[in-house]
Each structure stands twice: as structure tokens, then as C-alpha cells.
Amino acid sequence: MTQNSELKTPIPYGRQHITEADIAAVVETLQSDFLTQGPKVAEFEQAFARYVGAKYAVAVSNGTAALHLCALALGVNEETRVITTPITFVASANCIRYCGGTVEFADIDPKTALLDVANVRAMLESKPKGYYHGLIPVDFAGAPVNLEDFRKLADEFGLWIIEDACHAPGGYFTDSKGNKQLCGNGAYADLAIFSFHPVKHIATGEGGMITTNDEKLYQELLKLRTHGITRDPALLEENHGGWYMEMQELGYNYRIPDMLCALGLSQLSRADEGLARRKQIALQYDEAFRNYEGIEVLGTDAAALSSDGETGHAYHLYVIKVQDRKGLYDFLREHNIFAQVHYIPAHTMPYYRNLGYKKGDFPEAELYYSQCLSLPMYPTLTSEEQEFVIAKVKEFVK
Ligand SMILES: *Cc1c(COP(=O)(O)O)cnc(C)c1O
């Protein structure tokens, strides 16, 4: 492909990669005894828990259901106040609203677009202890949050942490002892959640996962995922016989079918490959855009680099910042490159504005939003396609 030739098919910002092995895994499950509530669910959970280094995993119908169950398991109610970032998918905040709790935002660190721990501390210190109950930091774009820092705050102020790790399976930060801490490993957060939407690293169509090292929360999540029902003889209040089960609290049907878990298992077996390719693509973009006038590459927290120079960034997104973002977005679209904007700040959405937030509340998030653009980033993006993207971005910016 030459620099001036045009694309026949559009390049999206992200897309799934489905192989023959993936298809075979789904077909095999379709022909098995269980379409749902079968053996593939636990198999996927165990493999995923191993992948992120957590003790327990609970597979659910999507990432939003995962967030909702986390909020329920932690006892979020009308009295609960939780702090999260405005630069995230709205589901990170909505899970608290589902339970009637109050969402408060704290502004981002402009260098990384991650929730700024100093801003969170200032908010916590401005209120009596006990005023806030939880934190939901997000590994935005695949850049791992330094959860060791957030844990210190959480311990000091008596808070729980849900890590929204949808962008970061396989990502890690390096803690103060020099240890790699995988996103979702449960070492610092009480719970972590992932999504298997097709734009994410591991795709099952719809699907989600919760990981934790806390056995009590794990047992609670299992129950809440399926109507609040348990059949475990050890947990029953009465027992009338083999058919007996109890609905012990108000749960939901947030189960994921076995076909999707089979697909997830097959995808998970290639996760490292996909992640390595994402890092390669990021390196190519870095070479093209770092030190290029008019383009700023979204930075990475120092904790995402380990002492061997490896990066723990999981590169769900590759974000650049430019002055004329709308101009660049439209120009790329004319050339069949479908870049995307992540994210419109949550507090500026009509729903959150109706709850009292307004434009101007979080200036760093809003400045970031006015300049950011996510370029195509997915393992099957070819080098030729990437060169085309780079050439078109430079053509517009120069
Ligand atoms: C995708 C995503 C979600 C929601 O996941 P779904 O599976 O689409 O419900 C939540 N948070 C973040 C940061 C996401 O990227």
C-alpha cells in the first residue's frame, strides 16, 4: 500500500480476532449437554483467575453486571458515597447509582488521564472519616493504576476498592518493593472487574469477570449472580431433600452461557500473543509521534515500567492529544479510519448533570477530552494499515 492509496475496508479503533479454534470451541460446547450452568463456566473462571494472579473469579453476563454485583456484594446503598474518575465508560459510575448510592468524581492526572490520587486524598481529607465508603479507579487505556497508593488511602480512610480493569487484562504495575502486580490480582483492590465486549482484549460478544482474593465476597458474588439462590448444603437454613434450594436474598440472573465461556477460554489461550502485538503497535506509534510537533502522546505512569524496561501498559487504547481533535477525527474518517474518543467525561452527561454536576467541575478531564483521540489498536491491525494511519495523522497535523 502506498501512502496515497485508499483503504477498501474501514479500520476501526478496536476489533475482535476470532480464529478457527475459537469457532471449534463454541461448536463443541453447542453439541455438549450444557449451554449454560455447565462445566465451561468454572473452567473459564479458573483459567482467568490464574491469568491475572487472583484466587477467585466469577464469570458474569457483561462488565456492567460485574460492576453491579461488586457494588451489591460490598453493600452499597442510599448512604454510600463513592469516588471515581470522570474519564471512564459511564458503567464504572452507574453501578453505584443502581444501588442508590452517591457518585462523586475526582479530577484526573493530566499526564496519564488516570484518577489522581492527590485529588482523591484532598477530597477525603475535606470530610470527616466515614463520609466516603469506596473508590473505583480505572486502568484507563490499559495503563495500570498504582493500586498500592490507593490502598494506603483506602486503609487510612476505611474504604473498599473496586478496580475497573476492563482495559488491562495482562497489564501490571510495579510496587514499591519492585514486584510486578498484575491488574485484577486482588493484592490491593477488594474486587476487580473485566469485560469481554468485542473491542476488549478477550472477546466473547458479551461477557464479564470479577476477580478477588476474598473468599466471603466470592461466595456472595456466586449467590448474587443467580437470583440470590444457593444449593450449598453448608449454607442452607433448612434442608427438605435433594431438590431443595433457598433464595436467601434478592439477586439477579447475570449468568454467562457455556458457549461464551468456551470462546473465552480459547481467546484467553492467545491473550499473551495479542498483548505482545498491542505493545509492538504502541512502539510503532511511539516512534512516529513522540517528538512530533503538534501531537502529544498520552503518558504512562512510571509504575507501569519495571526495572527491566518492560512496560506493564496493556494498550487497550493508544491515545494522542491534538489541538484540532474534531478536524483530525473528521479527516481520518474521510479516509476510512474510524478513530474514537475515550471518553466524554461522565460528569458532563445529561444524567449526571441532572444530579448536580456541571461543565467546569473537572478542568483536567475536560481539557483532556477536548484533545484526545484513540487511534486503531488491535492485534490484527497490519503494519501496512498502521503506516497508513500514521501517514494520515501526520498529513493532517503538519
Ligand atoms: C467496557 C467497559 C465497561 C463495561 O463493560 P460491558 O461488558 O460493556 O458491560 C466498564 N468499564 C470500562 C472501563 C469499560 O471499558
Q: What is the 3-state secondary structure (H, E, C) of the chain?
A: CCCCCCCCCCECCCCCCCCHHHHHHHHHHHCCCCCCCCHHHHHHHHHHHHHHCCCEEEEECCHHHHHHHHHHHCCCCCCCEEEECCCCCCHHHHHHHHCCCEEEECCECCCCCCECHHHHHHHHHCCCCCCCCEEECECHHHCCCCHHHHHHHHHHHCCEEEEECCCCCCCEEECCCCCEEECCCCCCCCEEEEECCCCCCCCCCCCEEEEECCHHHHHHHHHHHECCEECCCCCCCCCCCCCCCEECCCCCECCCCHHHHHHHHHHHCCHHHHHHHHHHHHHHHHHHHCCCCCCEECCCCHHHECCCCCECCCCCCEEEECCCHHHHHHHHHHCCECCECCCCCHHHCHHHHHCCCCCCCCHHHHHHHHHEEEECCCCCCCHHHHHHHHHHHHHHHC
How high is the pLDDT of residue 5?
67
Q: Quick: pLDDT tens for 290-318.
A: 999 999 999 877 777 766 778 899 999 99
Which segments of the chain have a pLDDT < 70?
Answer: 1-5, 306-307
Catalytic residue among 40, 200, 223, 392: 200
- Rounded to the nearest angstrom, the distance between the alpha carbon of 137 and the centre of ligand 1 is 13
User: CB within 8 A of 232, min separation 6: which ones?
Assistant: none
User: CB within 8 A of 370, min separation 6: which ones?
Assistant: 325
Cβ–ligand 1 contact at 89 (below 6 Å) = yes
Query: So what CATH class is 271-397?
Result: alpha beta
Q: How far is CA 244 from CA 138, 224, 233, 239, in A?
A: 41, 18, 9, 6
Burial class (CB in 10 A: 0-12, 13-18, 19+), 256: buried
Cβ–ligand 1 contact at 169 (below 6 Å) = no
Q: Whose CA is nearest to atom 3 of ligand 1?
A: 63
Q: Whose CA is nearest to atom 15 of ligand 1?
A: 166
Strand partners, 374: 319, 340
d(CA 364, CA 353): 18
Cβ–ligand 1 contact at 201 (below 6 Å) = no
- Rounded to the nearest angstrom, the distance between the alpha carbon of 41 and the centre of ligand 1 is 20
Q: Name which of 233, 217, 249 is nearest 58 in CA terms.
A: 217
How high is the pLDDT of residue 300?
75
Q: Quick: pLDDT tens for 92-147.
A: 999 999 999 999 999 999 999 999 999 999 999 999 999 999 999 999 999 999 99
153 near 115, Cβ under 8 Å?
A: no
How high is the pLDDT of residue 124?
98
Nearest 5°: the CA angle 241, 246, 252 is: 140
Cβ–ligand 1 contact at 146 (below 6 Å) = no
**pTM, 2 dp:** 0.97
How high is the pLDDT of residue 309?
74
Q: Whose CA is nearest to atom 7 of ligand 1?
A: 63
User: CB within 8 A of 136, min separation 6: which ones?
Assistant: 82, 83, 84, 85, 92, 93, 95, 96, 161, 162, 163, 164
- Rounded to the nearest angstrom, the distance between the alpha carbon of 91 and the centre of ligand 1 is 6
Report strand pairing: 229-230 vs 246-247: antiparallel
- Rounded to the nearest angstrom, the distance between the alpha carbon of 316 and the centre of ligand 1 is 12
Domain ranges of the chain: 20-268, 271-397
Measured from the CA of 67, which atom of ligand 1 is nearest?
10
Q: Whose CA is nearest to atom 5 of ligand 1?
A: 63
13 preceded by a cis bond (ω within 30 of 0) = no
Q: How far is CA 257 from CA 18, 101, 334, in A?
A: 18, 30, 40
Torsion, Cα 295 199 96 366, to 10 degrees, reads: 20
Burial class (CB in 10 A: 0-12, 13-18, 19+), 252: middle
CATH pick for 20-268 out of 3.40.50.1000, 2.40.50.180, 3.40.50.80, 3.40.640.10: 3.40.640.10
- For residue 398, indicate whether it is catalytic: no
- Rounded to the nearest angstrom, the distance between the alpha carbon of 235 and the centre of ligand 1 is 32
Q: Whose CA is nearest to atom 4 of ligand 1?
A: 63
Cβ–ligand 1 contact at 198 (below 6 Å) = no
C-alpha 359: how far from its chain's center? 25
